[in-house]
Chains A and B, each alone.
Chain A
Amino acid sequence: DTAVSQTPKYLVTQMGNDKSIKCEQNLGHDTMYWYKQDSKKFLKIMFSYNNKELIINETVPNRFSPKSPDKAHLNLHINSLELGDSAVYFCASSQDTFSYEQYFGPGTRLTVT
């Protein structure tokens, strides 16, 4: 069984479009995250949700809006896509905000043309 899943795995779209990436975890974890990994492989946290509530919101453009309908899901919606948004986006989860181990999804490779 897949612990943390993301869809789609690949996303190619044009500048100015709006797109969403979905994430689901079946581990019963309370905390979920979105990370961005750029072309230089630098992994940086974007958002963190605990029990559907936003607890970390790093400096990302407000074109990025996370939504957590329940604690097993954390979706990422991106408006007005730009070339610089091209990256791999990873969803992750952990038991709670204090747990040391995070489980990562397979990633979504977003290419903006």
Chain B
Amino acid sequence: GQNIDQPTEMTATEGAIVQINCTYQTSGFNGLFWYQQHAGEAPTFLSYNVLDGLEEKGRFSSFLSRSKGYSYLLLKELQMKDSASYLCAVSLDSGAGSYQLTFGKGTKLSVIP
């Protein structure tokens, strides 16, 4: 079966750096995504990794190791508005040439002054 694990909650201080980890055991892996979801809102796309390594986009970076089934999302210079849930999602080959996203349960990040 598919299994995606990430911490349930994290707390970090404004201006600091936080790393949110995600581990997965899946078959048919096609890439790993991070989405941000503020309370009461829709998820929004943050990053996508399909090859090993680090992808940087402004204050946010995402890392993938396919051999280890491991990814992390790194948030720098934390701002209060970064308080949200961060969803790790794996793209899996669902057959017939299509792919589907399977989400982890999300990490709720609280940024404190």
Residues of A near B23 (CB, < 8 A) are none
- Known contacts being A56-B98, A97-B98, is A41 close to B45, with CB within 8 Å? no
Q: 1/0 per position for B27-44, CB-CB distance to A under 8 A? A: 000010100010001111
In the assembled complex, A44 has its CB within 8 A of some CB on chain B:
yes
Residues of A within 8 A of B98 (CB): 48, 50, 55-56, 97-98
* Interface presence of A101 (CB below 8 A): yes
A105 interfacial contact with B, CB 8 Å: yes
B9 to chain A, nearest CB (A): 11
Per-residue interface assignment for chain A, residues 12 to 45, with 1 indicating a CB less than 8 Å from any chain B CB and 0 otherwise:
0000000000000000000000000000111111
Residue in contact with B105 in the complex, picked from A41, A45, A101, A107, CB distance below 8 Å: A41
Tell yes or no: B103 within 8 A of A by CB: yes
Binding site secondary structure of chain B: strand
Bound form: Cα–Cα A42–B102 in Å: 10
Q: Contact check, B94 vs A56: say whether CB atoms are below 8 A apart.
A: yes
| Range of interface residues on A (Cβ < 8 Å) | 20 to 34
Complex: A42 Cα to B37 Cα, angstroms: 12
Residues of B within 8 A of A40 (CB): 105
Complex interface residues of chain A between 49 and 91 (CB less than 8 A to chain B): 50, 55-56, 90
Contact of B43 among A50, A98, A104 (CB under 8 A): A104
25 A–B contacts from the bound complex (CB under 8 Å): A40-B105, A41-B85, A41-B105, A42-B105, A42-B106, A43-B43, A43-B103, A45-B101, A45-B102, A50-B98, A55-B94, A56-B94, A56-B100, A90-B42, A97-B97, A97-B99, A100-B31, A100-B48, A101-B45, A101-B48, A102-B101, A103-B45, A104-B42, A104-B43, A107-B41
